[in-house]
Structure 1
Amino acid sequence: MDVLGRLLALLALLVFGAGLRTVGILDTTRTAWLNAAAYYVALPALVFVATYDQAIDELLSPSLAGGLALVFGLTAGIAWLVHRNRAADSRRSVAIVQSYHSNLGYLGLPLVAATFADDVTAIASVVLGVVTLLQLPLTILVLSSLNGANATLSAELRRLATNPVLLSLLAGLAIGSAHVSVAPAVTAGLDVLSMFALPLALLCVGASLQIDTPSIDAGATGAVVALKICCMPLLAWVIFSWLAVDTATVTATVVMLGTPTAVSTFVFANELGGDEAFASLNVFITTLASIATLFVLITLVG
């Protein structure tokens, strides 16, 4: 019941964020402030405290990197096969992207940190880094190529190189690998900041969710939901069980890859010619449905 309680609290925060947007409290400016606090402060603090006392060779193994690339590649390939006959390129591109692009930073890592032990959280931080490096360039490539948009891939890659979450991951792993001690006062302060990662992220996600009823395509949205929160974690479970990795790695990868479609896919769809109303609906539905599927996943792997 503890896991169910956590996920229901997650849903309550999502609904609360959406409600604050509806009544005008979380307008665009205030949501941007909360988003900046989560993105530049709370999430980097969470990643750093999870990794600063871990050597990189203890976390990033060939099995972990290869398994993540295999799960990601298979999911993206299946998504292309499933959605290849969608009539409009704008909708087809969004459906493909949202079938594999996971909400690792705002939901996955904070949820893992709130639910599992430190060793699982440390591996989940590495999962976030590896999968982000895979999914962001592919998402830009798919949307821009199918929609004929002039995407500045080089600019996005430069932004990725200065991503505060990835930089905090690299800093934590570098310090852990060099066995450098960090002052207790510093880690205590960062630990306090990291506690705000999940609530801030959930409020931001809730404030960003939108539903446009005329855009509903039950078949396409159902396929996105099935691929993102059912097929992808199932593939992770099968592949990492086959690789015979430790329990912490299986737990971290299955839960992280079982997260819903990232809110950022709506932003990318808007910028690169995708069907933004369809994208917004899919973010909402996958997030809502993931409450149930994440409960099942966490119960099974936990």
Structure 2
Amino acid sequence: MNVLFPVFLLILLGYIFRRTGVVELGFWAQAERATYYVFFPALLVANLSTASFGEQPALTMAGALITGVVSVTGIALFLQSRLVIPGPAFSSIFQGSIRLNTYVGIAAASAMAGSPGVTLSAVALITLIPLVNFLCVPVVSHYGSAQLSSLKSILATLAKNPLILGSLGGFALNFMHVQLPESIYEVLRLLGRAALPLGLLTVGAGLNFRRIAPQKYRILMASFLKLILLPAVTMLACRLYHVPAPADVIAVLFASLPTAVSSFILARQLGGDEDLMASIITTQTVLAFVTLPLALYLVD
């Protein structure tokens, strides 16, 4: 998959820049914040507000994604009941099995399918972000050392998610046939162009091989569930639901992504195993260099 090579190369460059000090350390937190709250939402609004949804198989694609996540959730909980993994460790394994790095997903979808890829990415985001949060927060709270978060707090978090807001804003402008001034669209497009390279660089900057925890089989369990089983189930669901191309490719792409850096934050807040979570994030990002192209090759 030559089209994915620049995606992984930018991740590698982000790691190199962070470790060599080419860019000051304080830059990365601000870059990630700007990417999350400004650049990616601008990209989504600019693309979705002018996209054509007439031929997009949103429902069947969403159904395939939901089938994959719910199936892996059930398998992970079944394994916990049989293996009796310590609660905090299992909470990190669970997050590592279903959370996804949206930065890598949107960048890869754009590289592979251009504007339609970004449009289909929005379908994946609106489907997966609420679902994954509704599953992860209660499970991590239950198995971690923190108290269970309320439904109200989960909904409040989702309501403030800039990727969901950007997607919904773009959809709303499109469906209501609202045309913003061309100068506004141009500003949004320019901001959106910064999202993909900067987002990937921050992914690489967040990798930390020094914190690999000595729990290799747990890291491998999470990686197997996320990078192999979830894409396989999603691919099967796409075929069962007759999801056409390129929606099936984008669905499998998002199912094949390594887990998100935000998993570490949730683990810290809700009493999960932070070191194991950091190890899963780093390991999966590296393994995805191989597993992601392979999954896309099999579905294409």
Note if 1:20 corresponds to 2:14. Answer: no
Q: Letter of the aligned partner of 1:72 in structure 2?
A: V
**CA pair 165-87 structure 1, distance change in 2 beyond 3 A:** closer
Q: Give the alignment partner of residue 119 of structure 1, picking from 116, 119, 129.
A: 116
Pairing of 1:141-156 with structure 2 (within 5 A): 141-153=138-150, 154-156=152-154
Deviation at 1:8, TM superposition (A): 3.5
The match for 1:139 is 136
Note if 1:252 corresponds to 2:250. Answer: yes
Contact 2:67 2:233 in 1 (8 A): no
Note if 1:41 corresponds to 2:38. Answer: yes
- The number of equivalent residue pairs is 298
Q: Give the alignment partner of residue 47 of structure 2, picking from 45, 50, 74.
A: 50
Distance 1:253 1:156 in 2: 25
DSSP 3-state at the match of 1:99:
helix
Cα deviations by residue, 1:43-72 (Å, 9 ceiling, x for unpaired): 112212331124667547432333322221
Distance 1:47 1:69 in 2: 22
Contact 1:17 1:204 in 2 (8 A): yes
Note if 1:80 corresponds to 2:81. Answer: no
Which moved further from structure 2: 185-194 or 224-233?
A: 185-194
Contact 1:230 1:293 in 2 (8 A): yes
Distance 1:101 1:189 in 2: 31
Pairing of 1:203-222 with structure 2 (within 5 A): 203-212=201-210, 215-222=213-220
Q: Give the alignment partner of residue 234 of structure 1, picking from 232, 235, 249.
A: 232
Distance 1:25 1:152 in 2: 40
Contact 1:52 1:172 in 2 (8 A): yes
**Which structure 1 segments of 5+ residues have no match?**
none
**CA pair 87-293 structure 1, distance change in 2 beyond 3 A:** closer
Q: Give the alignment partner of residue 93 of structure 2, picking from 85, 88, 95.
A: 95
Q: Give the TM-score normalised by the residue count of structure 1.
A: 0.89
The match for 2:125 is 128
Deviation at 1:188, TM superposition (A): 2.9
Q: Identity over aligned residues, as a percent?
A: 26
Distance 1:193 1:133 in 2: 25
Q: Letter of the aligned partner of 1:159 in structure 2?
A: T
Deviation at 1:212, TM superposition (A): 4.4
Contact 1:83 1:95 in 2 (8 A): no
Q: Give the alignment partner of residue 9 of structure 1, picking from 6, 26, 30.
A: 6
User: RMSD between aligned alpha carbons?
Assistant: 2.3
**Which structure 2 segments of 5+ residues have no match?**
none
Q: Letter of the aligned partner of 1:256 in structure 2?
A: F
Q: Letter of the aligned partner of 2:197 in structure 1?
A: P
Distance 1:19 1:172 in 2: 35
Distance 2:121 2:234 in 1: 13
Distance 2:212 2:106 in 1: 33
Which moved further from structure 2: 25-34 or 223-232?
A: 25-34
Q: Letter of the aligned partner of 2:29 in structure 1?
A: A
Contact 1:11 1:288 in 2 (8 A): no
Cα deviations by residue, 1:239-259 (Å, 9 ceiling, x for unpaired): 011111221221111111111
Contact 1:26 1:207 in 2 (8 A): no
DSSP 3-state at the match of 1:195:
helix
Q: Letter of the aligned partner of 1:218 in structure 2?
A: K
Cα deviations by residue, 1:222-270 (Å, 9 ceiling, x for unpaired): 1211111111111111101111122122111111111111111111111
Q: Letter of the aligned partner of 1:81 in structure 2?
A: F
**CA pair 246-22 structure 1, distance change in 2 beyond 3 A:** same
